[in-house]
Chain A
Amino acid sequence: MAASIGKSCTRTILVHFAHEHTDFRIPELQSILGLFHIEATVPKECLKEAHIKCKESFKYQVTSFNKKLNKERKLQIIEDLPHETLAFEGPVDLKNPQHEYHIIEDYGSLLGQPTEAPQQVYFAKWIADGQREKINEFHLQKRHFIANTSMDAGLSMVMSNLGQVQSGTLIFDPFVGSGSLLVSAAAQGAFVMARPSRANVKQRSDDESVRANLRQYGLESHYIDILVADSSRVNMWREQPLFHSIITDPPYGIREGAKRIEKSEKHIAQRTEYHLSDIFMDLLNFAARYLTLNGRLEGMSDAELHVDHFQESTFRDMYFKESNL
C-alpha cells in the first residue's frame, strides 16, 4: 500500500498508492523520478519521525487501508494522538485548513483478512493528491472509438510513465489499434505517430480513428500521422535517432493474432502468422535504429497482465452489449 522515498535524511515522502497494478508501482515511481532527475532511494522501512511544528491552521485526517473505520473510531484515533508532543500552535480548521496531517492505518494486504490491529500506522503531512481522476477523464467507456483490444486508460498512463513520455517529444506506437497508448502520451504533451495494420484502417470511417480519439480530448495538435505499413519491415525511416519513446501493446496469443506479409509460392500477398519472438526481435531492431539516446522501448505482454486483460475484456463485452454495437 505504501512506499516511502527519502532524499538523504532531509526529506521523506510517503506515497499512498491505489492497490492496483502493484508490480508496476516501484518501476513507475522510479521512471518518474528519473524523468525529473530526482535522485531518491526507495527504502522498505517506513518513516519514523514525521511531525512538524506549525502556526498555521490545520486538521487531522484518518484514512485506513483494507478496513473501513467508522466515524467514532476515527475521532477516537485523533483524540488519542499525543497532543502535547505534537503541540501544533495553529488553530484547527476542518473546512479549509492550510495543512492536513494524515494518520494512515494499514490493516494488511488486500487479499487477506484485515488484521485485528493495524500493521503499520503512518503519520504524515499531506502534500498532493495523485492524478487518479484522470482515469475517469480518459475512461474507455466515454472514448469515441474503441476496438476490441483497446488498452484501458489507467494502464495506458502507467505505460506512458514507464516509457518516460515527456512533453514536446515524439512518440511512436507500431501496433496502434485504437490508439489508447497515444491518447495518454499526447495527454502528457507528447507528439504521436503510429502504424496501424491495414485491416484497422480500411474498416473504419473517418471519425472512427486514432485522430478522432485525440480530437475528443482537444489533443489533435499532438497528432502527427499514422502510416499503413508492415511492422516487420523495420527500415522504413531514414536511419537516425527519431523517437523519444516507443510504447506499444503488440498483438499476441489470446488477444489478437498478428499477421505479416511474406513471399509465397502462389504470387499472391500472403498473410502469415507473426510469432511473438519475431515481433520482439523486430521491435528491438526498430528501437535500436530509431530511438534517441536514453529513449525507452516499452512493450506490454500478456504474461504479466492476465487478470487485467480478463477484466478489461469482460468490461468490453458488457459495453458492446449495452450499446448494441
Chain B
Amino acid sequence: MKLLTHNMLTSNIIKGVSKGFPLKIVASKVEEKEVDFVPEFTARMIPKIDWPALRQAAADLGKPDNLPENVVEKYEENEEFLKKTHHVLMELEVLEGELICPETGRKFPVSNGIPNMLLREDEV
C-alpha cells in the first residue's frame, strides 16, 4: 500500500463511524521502491492530499519525509518539491501491517502490500 492510497482511505464503511480518517498505520514491513517520476501526475494529486495526514503517515513508517510543513505555493513549477512529494506518495510501500480506525480501533490488515477493508457482517 502506497501512502497515496492511505491518504485517500477512510474507515467510514464501519457502522457509526463518521470521519474515519486518517487511519493509523502500524507497519511491520515497509519497502522503498523506485517509481518513475511523472511531475504532472504528482501535481494533479497534490490538491487532493491531506497534507498533515501524509506527513504523519511517513512518520508512522519511521521515514523522514523531508516535506515542508505546508504545500508550497506554485508547486506545479517546483520540481524539487514535486519530487519529494512523489517519493512519499509513490515510493514508500507498506507490505505488512495494520491500519487502525481512529474512532473504533478496528484493525484492517495489510498483507502482501494489499489492505483488506472487508467487514464482518455485524459491522455493516
Contact with A along B108-120 (1 / 0, CB 8 A): 0000111111111
* Residue contact B13 to A198, C-beta cutoff 8 Å: no
* Residue contact B124 to A262, C-beta cutoff 8 Å: yes
* Residue contact B48 to A268, C-beta cutoff 8 Å: no
Residues of A within 8 A of B5 (CB): 193, 224-225, 227
Contact with A along B56-90 (1 / 0, CB 8 A): 00000000000000000000000000000000001
Given known contacts A168-B40, A168-B41, A224-B2, is B116 in contact with A230 (CB within 8 Å)? no
Shortest CB–CB separation between residue B111 and chain A, in angstroms? 9
- Greatest chain B CB density within 10 A among A168, A201, A242 is at A168
Given known contacts A168-B38, A228-B114, A238-B50, is B13 in contact with A261 (CB within 8 Å)? no
A163 CA to B8 CA in the complex, in Å?
22
* Residue contact A206 to B112, C-beta cutoff 8 Å: yes
Taking CB atoms and an 8 Å cut-off, the chain A residues in 1-60 that contact chain B are: none
Residues of A within 8 A of B115 (CB): 225, 227-228
Query: How many chain A residues have a CB neighbour from B under 8 Å?
Result: 33
* Residue contact A169 to B44, C-beta cutoff 8 Å: yes
A221 CA to B41 CA in the complex, in Å?
12
Residues of B within 8 A of A226 (CB): 114
* Residue contact B2 to A268, C-beta cutoff 8 Å: no
Contact with A along B96-124 (1 / 0, CB 8 A): 00000000000000001111111111101
A263 CA to B121 CA in the complex, in Å?
5
Count CB-based A-B contacts (< 8 Å): 92
Of the candidates A170, A225, A235, A238, the one whose C-beta lies within 8 Å of that of B1 is: A225
Q: Nearest residue in A to B7 (C-beta to C-beta)?
A: A238
Residues of A within 8 A of B4 (CB): 224-225
A230 CA to B116 CA in the complex, in Å?
10
Given known contacts A170-B45, A262-B124, A267-B122, is B10 in contact with A235 (CB within 8 Å)? yes
Q: Nearest residue in B to A290 (C-beta to C-beta)?
A: B8
- Chain A, interface SS category: loop
A191 CB–B CB distance under 8 Å: yes
Shortest CB–CB separation between residue B88 and chain A, in angstroms? 14
* Residue contact A240 to B10, C-beta cutoff 8 Å: no
* Residue contact A235 to B45, C-beta cutoff 8 Å: no
* Residue contact A237 to B120, C-beta cutoff 8 Å: no
* Residue contact B121 to A229, C-beta cutoff 8 Å: no
Given known contacts A224-B2, A267-B121, is B36 in contact with A237 (CB within 8 Å)? no
- Greatest chain A CB density within 10 A among B7, B8, B9, B112 is at B8
Taking CB atoms and an 8 Å cut-off, the chain B residues in 29-64 that contact chain A are: 35-36, 38, 40-41, 44-45, 48, 50
* Residue contact A237 to B10, C-beta cutoff 8 Å: yes
Residues of B within 8 A of A225 (CB): 1-2, 4-5, 113-115
B12 CB–A CB distance under 8 Å: yes
Contact with B along A183-213 (1 / 0, CB 8 A): 0000000010100001001000010000000
* Residue contact A228 to B41, C-beta cutoff 8 Å: no
Of the candidates B40, B50, B118, the one whose C-beta lies within 8 Å of that of A261 is: B118
* Residue contact A201 to B114, C-beta cutoff 8 Å: yes
Residues of B within 8 A of A139 (CB): none
* Residue contact A242 to B48, C-beta cutoff 8 Å: yes
* Residue contact B8 to A238, C-beta cutoff 8 Å: yes
Shortest CB–CB separation between residue A242 and chain B, in angstroms? 6
A270 CB–B CB distance under 8 Å: yes
Of the candidates B1, B8, B117, the one whose C-beta lies within 8 Å of that of A229 is: B117
A264 CA to B120 CA in the complex, in Å?
11
Q: Nearest residue in B to A260 (C-beta to C-beta)?
A: B124
* Residue contact B124 to A261, C-beta cutoff 8 Å: yes
A230 CA to B117 CA in the complex, in Å?
8
A269 CB–B CB distance under 8 Å: yes
* Residue contact B117 to A263, C-beta cutoff 8 Å: no
Assuming A167-B40, A227-B1, A230-B119, what are 9 further A-B pairs, CB within 8 angstroms?
A168-B40, A170-B41, A198-B116, A206-B112, A224-B5, A238-B7, A240-B48, A242-B48, A261-B121
Report the 3 A-B pairs with minimum CB-CB distance, sorted nearest first: A221-B36, A229-B117, A225-B5
